[in-house]
Chains A and B, each alone.
Chain A
Amino acid sequence: MAEKTLKKVDIIFAEYLVSPYKILEETIKRPKNEIIQEILDSGLRGRGGAGFPTGLKWKFGASAKAEPKYIVCNADEGEPGTFKDREILTKVPRKVFLGMGICAFVTGATKGILYLRAEYNYLIPSLNNELQIFHEKAKLLGLDFNITIFSGSGAYVCGEETALIESMEGKRGEPRNKPPFPVQSGYLGKPTIVNNVETFVSASMVCRIGAVEYKKLGTEDQSGSKLFSISGDTHKAGVYELELGMKVSEFVEEFGDGDTKAVQIGGVAGVCVPRKNFEATIIGQGSSSGGSTMVFNSTRSMYNVLHNYLEFFQEESCGQCTPCRVGCQQLLKGIEAIKAGTKPAEYLNQLMKLTETMKLTAKCGLGQSVGNSFNSIVTNFREEMIY
């Protein structure tokens, strides 16, 4: 049995030992290429869920030619089971603006937008106060960068970066075809770097402690620490900063209630890990996750869990592409029919094939990822779907 236990880290929410503005001042004295290289070396990946290498995104942003450039902070945190960005914006907003400021410096962007989901509107007054301070400091440092807040209006799909841009442009939040990627042609057709709230904080941490120190955290595959939003059947629900690369079994040991049946990793767009796979599964391996971890104990019906997920997807599908719009409806109808006995159990196989089609043909991550939770729940809890 390995000795390794969960390593808790305290960087993201740590008190401001050094003023974020001091870090900004120090950082923007360095050559831009050096900062980008530092972020690349750190291995930092986007913390919103998709896990794109942050350094690479900044590099593309820096080499984009058109002006003005935009930096967008994606605070449209809608993945069920995720609430870490709200905690960051409540407790350490200065670190977010620091990260955005550094990004603006290296990419040459002059305009910043914080896209805040409507559900977090109550944060606007305090964030505006912080922004006032930020703007004063930026001016003193000679950094021409202004951040405004754009309030969302309630749509899960707007967490997808191109849907978010459409929404800021006053349109329905329907994802765009890619390419072009936002770093080439984003908001109003201009180069736009969209990063998650936590990504900006982590990037600023890399600038403060250096890539070498940062890489000491986590594993080769996934470096650094990450915020996990933990909820469900646990006595320790909340936000925790943990080193990456932990097994589900270690996680359950610490956060489970002793009767954990399954853990949903990465929100409803992620996978559901059953007890028999706890030991073999490393959280976020192969892909990054947004840090949503929902714990289910043996009193929970996995049919009800899946039903709730599918109602969510059906409602939040933007309706633009057929595979997702119709697929989500059919999956929900399908499991209801099987439960009611009007369709045979074998119909589940057909539904799983449908999720494969959705994965191949849906336009954005929403429709493509429905199959993650669907297949992992149906495969591992098949009898609960039928009886």
Chain B
Amino acid sequence: MADIQVLVKELVNKYGTKREALIPILQGVVASERYLSSEAMIEIAKELDISAAEVYGTATFYSFLETVPRGKYVIRICRTIVCEMNGKKDVLKILEEILKIKVGETTMDKKFSLLETNCIGWCHQGPAMLINDEVYSQLTSDKVREIIQDYIRNK
């Protein structure tokens, strides 16, 4: 059995084959593979006995269910109004400079992806970003440099 089949099987054993298990299963695949490949979605569809189009339709609805390969660390910088007012553009510029990628891209070594996201609930300490599940707020150019350097060196 291919790796993805093993993974999907494991997740199905954990969450079941009912439709309400779909999102936890999709989340489980993203957590392990960093994205949902066509193979993964087809496999899930088979296990849940629904069409692959249903799986794809659900997956593409949600911004945290990636359907293109992403890096080990997904950086999501908040682009909503208060973060925007508090200097999000400068922070984004620094991120693009350090990582040498644009928004939507992944670094060559597959370590980082850079994305924009809508309000993450840290408006009082904007600009803010998420790196996977971790929150970083009150960002400045220097602070962003430090955070990313730390990820490059230590993670």
User: Measuring CB to CB, which residues of chain A are less than 8 angstroms from any residue of chain B?
Assistant: 77-83, 85-86, 117-122, 150-156, 167-174, 188, 229-233, 237-239, 268, 294, 296, 300, 304-305, 308-309, 311-312, 315-316, 318
Contacts and interface: CB of A to CB of B under 8 A. Distances in A.
A358 B125 CA distance: 34
Given A83-B124, A172-B61, A237-B125, A153 B27 contact: yes
Nearest to B81: A308
Contact of B124 (A120, A237, A304): A237
A83 B20 contact: no
Given A122-B133, A153-B63, A172-B61, A80 B21 contact: no
B36 to A, nearest CB: 11
B110 to A, nearest CB: 22
B82 A231 contact: yes
What size tier do the contact residues of chain B reach?
35 or more
Given A153-B62, A170-B58, A119 B81 contact: no
Given A119-B121, A121-B133, A168 B20 contact: yes
* Chain A facing B: main interface SS: mixed
Contacts of B23: 150, 153, 167-168, 170
Contacts of A172: 57-58, 61
The interface centre, meaning the residue of A80, A170, A172, A230 with most chain B CB atoms within 10 A of its CB, is A170
B80 A229 contact: no
A170 B20 contact: yes
A310 B25 CA distance: 33
A82 B30 CA distance: 27
B123 A294 contact: yes
A122 B136 CA distance: 12
The interface centre, meaning the residue of A154, A156, A169, A300 with most chain B CB atoms within 10 A of its CB, is A154
A80 B62 contact: no
A79 B20 CA distance: 25
A215 to B, nearest CB: 30
Given A172-B58, A172-B61, A79 B27 contact: no
A163 B147 CA distance: 36
Given A79-B119, A232-B85, A312-B118, 14 more contacts: A80-B81, A82-B119, A121-B133, A153-B64, A170-B20, A170-B23, A171-B19, A171-B58, A231-B126, A232-B123, A268-B81, A294-B123, A296-B85, A312-B80
A119 B78 CA distance: 11
B134 A170 contact: no
Interface string B88-118: 0000000000000000000000000000011
The interface centre, meaning the residue of A120, A171, A309 with most chain B CB atoms within 10 A of its CB, is A171
A312 B117 CA distance: 10
A167 B10 CA distance: 22
B65 interface: yes
